Amino acid sequence: MIDVVFVIMLFFMVMTGSVKVERELRTRLPNPGNPEQAVQFPAEEITIGIFEDGTVTMNEAAFDSPKDKRMPMLTRTLQQLADSSTRQKQKVLVTIQAEEQASYERVIDVLNSLHQAGIQNVTFTVGNDPL
35: exposed, middle or buried (Cβ count in 10 Å: 0-12, 13-18, 19+): exposed
Write down the pLDDT at residue 75.
93
Alpha helices in 1-131 (DSSP H): 2-16, 35-38, 72-87, 104-117
Give the lowest-confidence range in 52-61, 84-93, 121-130. Answer: 121-130
Confidence of residue 43 (pLDDT cuts 50, 70, 90): low
DSSP state of 44: E
Tell me the average pLDDT across 18-39: 64
Give the integer Cα–Cα distance in Å for 67 and 53. 9
First to last CA, the chain: 76
Stretch 66-79: mean pLDDT: 92
Distances (CA, A) of 60 to 5, 19, 126: 75, 62, 16
Note whether 81 and 128 are within 8 A (CB).
no
Specify the pTM: 0.65
How confident is the model at residue 127, as a pLDDT?
A: 74
pLDDT given for residue 89 in this prediction: 84
**Mean pLDDT of the 67-79 span:** 92
Cα distance between residue 131 and residue 126, in whole Å = 11
Structural domains in the chain plus CATH codes = 41-126 (3.30.420.270)
Work out the pLDDT band at 38, boundaries 50, 70, 90: very low
Residue 32 has pLDDT above 70, yes or no: no
